[in-house]
Structure 1
Amino acid sequence: MTGFSVDTKLFQELGQLLVSKESIALVELIKNAYDADATLVTVTGLNLGDAENGRIIVADDGVGMNGDEFRRGFLTIAGRTKNDGDRRSPVFGRRYTGEKGVGRLASHKLGMEVEVQSRKAGPVQRGATALPPAISEVKARIDWRAIEKLETLDQIPASGAVTVVESAQPTKPSSGTTLSIAPLRTAWSGRIRSSFLKEAATLAPLPLTWKKLPDGAVSEMLLFDELPIRDLHSSDPGFEVVFGGDLSVGDRLLPEDAAAANWIAEVSFDRETGKLAIALAPTARELRDVPDAEGFRFEKLLGKNAGPSFTGRILQKSNGIWPPEVSGVRLFMEGFRVSPYGEQGNDWLELDHDYLSRVRRTLTGLAILRADDLPQGIDTEGVSTQGNKAYLGAVFLQRSSSPGLEMVVSREGFLPGAALDFIAEWTRVAVDLIVRFRSLARNKPKEVRPETKLAQRNASNRSDVNETPTAFRVRDNAIEIERKFSSIAQAVERNDFQTVAREAKELQPSLSEIREMADQFGSEAVQWRVLASLGTELAAFVHEINSVGLQISVLARELEDALTMEDLARTRSAIRKTRQRALDLADRIRRNAIYLVDATSFEGRSRRARILLREHFEAVRLFFDTRIEQKGITVVNTISADFRTPPMFPSEISGIFINLLSNAVKFTDDGGRIEVTARDRDGFCEVQMSNTGTGVDLSRARRFFDAFQSTTERPDAILGQGMGMGLTITRAFVQEYGGDIDFVAPPPGFATSIRFKIPVR
């Protein structure tokens, strides 16, 4: 009889195609447990760093298998056991997550052998709330190495590579399946294990992305009490995954409280009715900072079957980022994460792209809403967009209501297409609505009282041409206050307390006016200093762009020369080198752009925080990397990773480090050294920067803090010549908090040191 013969290499080929890495393999085994009506699955790793002695154990409390089910299911590649009937689990009615019958190849990916012990639950009707005791047991062993040595799959039954033993007497009363995989195919390096633990954090959605929000968390109702994340029957007791041994998640602190967010949005589309709904609201945290913040609710009929049904919740942070393991908006199918994940490098909503480019000044994507009650955004609202790190969210899909979403063969994600674009488009609209309403709330113009306008006009008419009207008003009120206090002092000496009371009452308007002007103009002073600080570094950025432009011209010539080479090998080598240099230039521009965006963005001046000083210095250092590399300077950052400043604006710290590091780089000799240190001392946050090269006369150093007293006697080739404002601006930042800055005696081996200190409280 003629037929097909299948080579055993099929396992290896399918394994590479369908289960590309260890984390995917474990996810497949966990999904199998879910499909088997398990309420708990434990995944334990033992000695994972040693392939020969390592072991992975996956144990669940599901319905288990008898011998026939094991052969038809586990031993049948691409079996159809989950494609028959209504494609739901037998007891709790869960929609099957597996459909291609290749999940058992996950054990092949992980190890050389797998031992299976499965205890079959007794008869039970769908809708039960618990499983009955086990009535039989099957024990099996699959030796993948022995199978791979065979030529065809036909030879497996006679080889002993697969053994199955059935028993009518289960060894335990409870049902369930345990897979023990050993030895391992690969020793789990620290990188593999770290990658898995990060992915494990979002294998299932975090509770705050779907569970009921705490009372008072948001200012108004959103769309859901609790988001439907799976296609379930009401009897389902739930499903939990626990990682143990070398795979233990440990003490990773993942966000559990929606109170950390500033805005929360929910989105829903029902393909049966064609109804789209979006709602967003500020949280209690946002309302404390911006009492005028308002929510928004929108509904629209897009038409039946306009796209797949989905629901989602997105939480936004204004002054911070979510932990990297969970940041971004992720997709979940039947409660299990699928690609795209929304993390760095998987920018399916183009949040990072828009944040880094800031090309769109307005949120043009909101035009598709066509909502009469949608307020007009300000001209620069697009500048306040944020990347994936500022968002934590989940979009939930169910198989029965997601036609058009075709999964890739590995089931790790979806094929590009109109259905996925539909979800991305409307999820992004929800994000852009957060951007608009947050921007409107934080940039709402303050109405100036008529009497204030009149006072300003009078001051303008009376003030000297060399004096600003506001300064005149402050001085005029100060003179009036001084005069009133003099009258009060004289009245007290006369025991004329009636005059004291009258003068004190008349003093009140002047005090109130000065307080109002302080409120109006005091907050703007920080922004003025930030802008001035960035202006001092504009020349450096211009030099950087000019330098990049010259190098691009050189690359163009090198490519042209490569095309004239007759030796193909030399041509390819020259093009590869030029390509790498072009990529380095692109990365250089990107790093500078990221820094400039961070330094000039609204977030840098919106709220004070205790800033991690080490990583903030590193962000500034990237801006000077080109000159540092050219001069061969070694920069040593000894600041502790957990050292924080007192509460300050991030842009102020940026401004301080910009000016100090710019001077240090200019004056450090070629091949020299720069060192930055920080410590808490006597109630002060004390930071010191030292460099080799040119020293400073400490007896005359204070003059460099005066305006226009440049420390640079000759221009730097890249950083240019200073304008004499850098240290003046830096001193203003430090003195704003009651601190001080000065040149100090350098430590041994250094020529110059400058130290600033700011009170901790």
Structure 2
Amino acid sequence: MESPILGFRFAPSILVRLGEELVPNLDQAIIELIRNSYDADASECTVEIKMDTINGGTIKISDNGSGMTHHQILNNWLVLGGSSKESTKLTPKGRRTVGDKGLGRLAALRAGSSVEMTTRHLSEQADEAHSITIEWSKYDKATVVEEIGLPIEKSTRKNHGTTTILKGIKRTLGRSETDRLGRSIVLLTSPFHEGTDFRINLIAPDFPELEARVRNGYLDDAEYVLRADLLPDGSGYAEVLDFKGDVLYSATSNEWPTKKQKGQVIYSAPPTTFELYSYIFNRNAFAGRGSTIAEVKNWLKVVGGVHFYHRQFRVPPYGDPGHDWLDMNLSRARSPEERPSTNTSVGRVIVDDPDGILKQKTDRVGFIESDEFLEIRRFAKDALEWFARRRLRDAEARRDFQKQESRIAPTQARADLLDTISQSLPAHEKERAIKGFFAGSWGRAD
């Protein structure tokens, strides 16, 4: 008798391993669903958070993207670990996809006790929407995952797009959790919101501070703006602007050689842009500005540091508290003068990566540290080093000028006083006054 052909079967506990343990933080899970909205060519995504201490919280993520057909739900949305998204393929709107593997989505869906997803594809009529409901408690009683069926029901939706509702959120949103969630949503596109056709709305009546953080920004109050470009030929260019937008100084990459390689520096990495907004916290710098030092400092506590944006989306943990991936604070500790820190600046490294060279880790936290990633890091650190040297050079020039002024000042003061004596006193008193002047506290005449 011929043995039946068998395949792998999975216990429900695998959903825990791939969901809750893979992406343990609620903010990461929500960001993953927002990524899906971006990949669906949505122009707008709304995140609504409602807390209920008795029945558990509810998180609703709704977008106006392309939506999904019955076929796409069955063969893409319900397939875990696989992805129909190719990193080098553009969406109909010309976006490069930022979602991957489906595991991050699973982590988000596992955040609550149940999930309701309703979607309507842009090619379908309002009465042709589809919905699916997942009750996670059913899997607790099953031996294998395949025992639980997930029927795709017919539904209605006025406009095309997708709405996902997570109910019975198991994790309470304490202060640290809401701070992390607010920071993640703020930094997803803000404070660098220009140049994108994707908007995120946050509705969180229980957490008004989160909404305020999304709205506020203080980039225009930066004293210096460093802009550096890693060009397609592997060379670099950088310039520094003041708060008025005027160029203070600029350089090509052969002006910031590393210790390992003299002459022109060549970077083996995809084209990259590095921007850094650096603040000087003194009264003179903020005179006439529309904000206060305290406001900007509090804002930098949320957004400070250099963040990594891959295809317009931020990739954690770069720039998170305690993750100073460009060693800014270490460099400042070794040589504090004129160097920015994560507490006095905010910046971003931007890589479009059309060929999909950079690969995120499975848990979506950071990139695999390939040669290309390390070269991007080296480029950004070299630009920071050049910026610090140029500012230090200016500081030394100011000190030399002040020393010269301090030497000139007494001599000039004596000359002015002698001139006053000569012009204001009668002739018979001038000689006595001048002798008394040189014999007094001014010391001997030069």
TM-score range, shorter chain: 0.7 to 0.9
Match of 2:90 among 83, 88, 95: 88
Query: How far, CA to CA, are the matches of 2:352 and 2:22 in structure 1?
Result: 22
What secondary structure is seen at the aligned counterpart in 1 of 2:354? helix
Taking the TM superposition and a 5 Å limit, the aligned residue runs for 1:541-560 are: none
CA 1:266–1:341: 2 relative to 1, 3 Å = same
Aligned pairs (5 A) from 1:733-752? none
How far residue 251 of structure 1 moved from its aligned partner, in angstroms, is 2.7
What's the CA shift for 1:356? 2.3
| Residues 459-478 of structure 1 mapped to structure 2, 5 A cutoff | 470=410, 478=417
Match of 1:263 among 209, 224, 247: 224
Aligned pairs for 1:302-313 within 5 A? 306-313=268-275
Q: Distance in 1 between matches of 2:178 and 2:130?
A: 32
The 1:432/1:8 distance shift into structure 2, 3 A limit, reads same
The 3 A distance-change label for structure 1 pair 107 and 269 is: same
Matched, 1:121 2:122: yes
Equivalent position SS for 1:323: helix
8 Å contact kept, 2:253–2:265: no
Counterpart of 1:6 (choices 4, 7, 10) is 10
Match of 2:367 among 414, 418, 427: 414
CA separation in 2, counterparts of 1:181 and 1:7?
23
| Inter-CA distance 68–384: structure 2 relative to 1 (3 Å threshold) | same
| Equivalent residue for 1:72, pick from 54, 70, 75 | 75
Residue of 137, 143, 146 corresponding to 1:145: 137
- Aligned residues of 1:22 and 1:110 also touching (Cα < 8 A): yes
User: Which among 17, 20, 25 is matched to residue 21 of structure 1?
Assistant: 25
Counterpart of 2:276, as a letter, is: I
- Counterpart of 1:244? 203
Measure the CA separation in 2 of the matches of 1:254 and 1:136: 37
Partner of residue 57, structure 2:
54
Is structure 2 residue 150 aligned with structure 1 residue 165?
Answer: no
In 1, the alpha carbon distance for the partners of 2:120 and 2:242 equals 51
**Partner Cα separation in structure 2 for residue 406 and residue 175 of structure 1:** 31
For 1:95 and 1:45, locate their aligned partners in 2 and report how far apart those are by CA, in whole Å: 28
Change (3 A) 1:401 1:443: farther
Please give the per-residue CA displacement for 1:301-321, whole angstroms capped at 9, x wherever unaligned: 756x81232112111123365
For residues 496-521 of structure 1, the C-alpha deviation after alignment (integer angstroms, 9 at most, x for no partner) is: xxxxxxx9xxxxxx9xxxxxx9xxxx
Report if aligned partners of 2:31, 2:184 keep a CA contact under 8 Å in 1: no
The superposition leaves residues 702-755 of structure 1 with CA deviations (integer Å, 9 ceiling, x where unpaired) of xxxxxxxxxxxxxxxxxxxxxxxxxxxxxxxxxxxxxxxxxxxxxxxxxxxxxx
In structure 1, how many angstroms separate the alpha carbons of the residues matched to 2:89 and 2:100? 9
**Number of residue pairs matched by the alignment:** 398
SS of the residue aligned with 1:141?
strand
Residue 234 of structure 2 corresponds to which residue in structure 1? Answer: 274
Structure 2 contact 110–136 (Cα < 8 Å) conserved: no
TM-fit CA distance, 1:442: 2.9
Partner of 1:105: 106
Give the deviation of 1:416 after TM superposition.
2.6
- Given residue 341 of structure 2, which amino acid in structure 1 is its aligned partner? G
8 A contact 1:51–1:185 mirrored in 2: no
Cα distance, 1:478 vs structure 2: 4.9
* Residue segments in structure 1 that go unaligned for 5+ positions in a row: 124-132, 212-225, 230-237, 288-292, 359-381, 457-469, 489-502, 504-509, 511-516, 518-761
Looking at structure 2, the residues matched to 447 and 242 of structure 1 have their Cα atoms a distance apart, in angstroms, of 52
C-alpha change, 1:104 and 1:284, in structure 2 (3 Å) is: closer
Does structure 2 retain, via aligned residues, the 8 Å contact 1:38–1:239?
yes
Determine the C-alpha separation between the residues in 2 that align with 1:354 and 1:59. Answer: 43
Q: CA RMSD in A?
A: 3.4
SS of residue in 2 equivalent to 1:10: helix
The one-letter code sitting in structure 1 at the alignment partner of 2:382 is V
Amino acid at match of 1:164: I
- Quote the residue 1:356 is aligned against: 333
Q: Where do 1:318-717 residues align within 5 Å?
A: 318-319=280-281, 323-358=300-335, 383-403=337-357, 405-444=358-397, 445-446=400-401, 470=410, 478=417, 481=420, 485=424
Deviation digits for residues 254-289 of structure 1, max 9, x if unmatched?
A: 764544122212122244x3332222233338x8xx
Unpaired runs of at least 5, structure 2: 255-263, 283-296, 431-436
Kindly provide the CA deviation profile for residues 385-431 of structure 1, in whole angstroms up to 9, marking residues without a partner as x: 2321222111111242452x331111121123322221111111222
> Displacement, 1:341?
2.5
TM-score with structure 2 setting the length: 0.79
**Cα distance, 1:12 vs. partner?**
0.3
Q: Structure 1 296/476 Cα, relative in aligned 2: closer, same or farther at 3 Å?
A: closer
Structure 2: distance between partners of 1:343 and 1:99: 22
The question of whether the paired residues in 1 share the 8 Å contact of 2:57 and 2:170 is answered with no
Structure-2 residue corresponding to 1:181: 166
Deviation at 1:447, TM superposition (A): 8.8
Whole-Å Cα distance in 1 between the matches of residues 215 and 385 of structure 2?
25
Classify 1:483/1:424 alpha carbon distance in 2 versus 1 (closer, same or farther; 3 Å): same
Question: Residues 146 and 59 of structure 1: is their aligned pair in 2 closer, same or farther, counting only changes over 3 Å?
Answer: same
What letter is aligned with 1:98?
A: G
**Cross-structure match for 2:294:** none
What is the alpha-carbon distance in structure 2 between the residues aligned to residue 354 and residue 447 of structure 1?
27
Equivalent pair of 1:97/1:334 in contact (CA under 8 Å): yes
Asked if structure 2 preserves the Cα contact closer than 8 Å seen for 1:122 and 1:135, the reply is: no
For the residues of structure 2 that align with 1:401 and 1:268, how far apart are their CA atoms?
A: 18
Encode CA deviations 1:11-61: one digit per residue, 9 max, x unaligned. Answer: 10011343120000000000001111111110001125x262421111111
Q: Contact 2:26 / 2:108 at 8 angstroms: preserved in 1?
A: no
**What percent of counterpart residues are identical?**
21
Report the secondary structure of 2:154's partner residue. strand
Distance (whole Å) between structure 1 residues aligned to residue 199 and residue 321 of structure 2: 27
Give the Cα separation in 2 of the matches to 1:449 and 1:99.
62
Match of 1:297 among 228, 247, 251: 251
Distance in 2, matches of 1:95 and 1:282, equals 33
Q: 1:136 corresponds to which residue?
A: 128
Structure 1 residue 317 corresponds to structure 2 residue 319: no
2:143 aligned partner, one-letter code: E
How far did 1:137 drift? 0.4
Amino acid of the structure 2 residue aligned with 1:100: K
Q: Which amino acid aligns with 1:243?
A: L
Does the 8 Å CA contact 2:274/2:349 hold for their aligned counterparts?
A: yes
> Could you list the per-position Cα deviations for residues 576-607 of structure 1 after superposition, in whole angstroms to 9, with x for gaps in the alignment?
xxxxxxxxxxxxxxxxxxxxxxxxxxxxxxxx
Q: Structure 1: how far apart are the matches of 2:110 and 2:129?
A: 26
**For 1:32 and 1:247, how far apart are their aligned partners in 2?**
24
Measure how far apart 1:243 and its partner are: 0.7
Please tell me the residue identity of whatever aligns with 1:144: W
Query: 2 CA distance for matches of 1:417 and 1:135?
Result: 48
- Conserved? CA contact 2:50–2:58, under 8 Å: yes
CA gap 1:117/1:343 in 2 versus in 1, 3 angstroms: closer
Against the structure 1 CA distance between its residues 150 and 110, is the aligned structure 2 distance closer, same or farther, given a 3 Å change threshold? same
Relative contact order, higher structure (CA 8 A, sep 6+): 2
Maintained 8 Å contact 2:64/2:162: yes
Does the 8 A contact of 1:254 with 1:323 survive in 2?
A: no
- Residue identity matched to 2:71: D
Cα shift at 1:78: 1.6
- Tell me: CA distance 1:182–1:447, structure 2 relative to 1, closer, same or farther (3 Å): closer
Contact 1:120/1:135 (8 A) holds in 2? no
Cα 1:134/1:274, change in 2 over 3 Å: farther
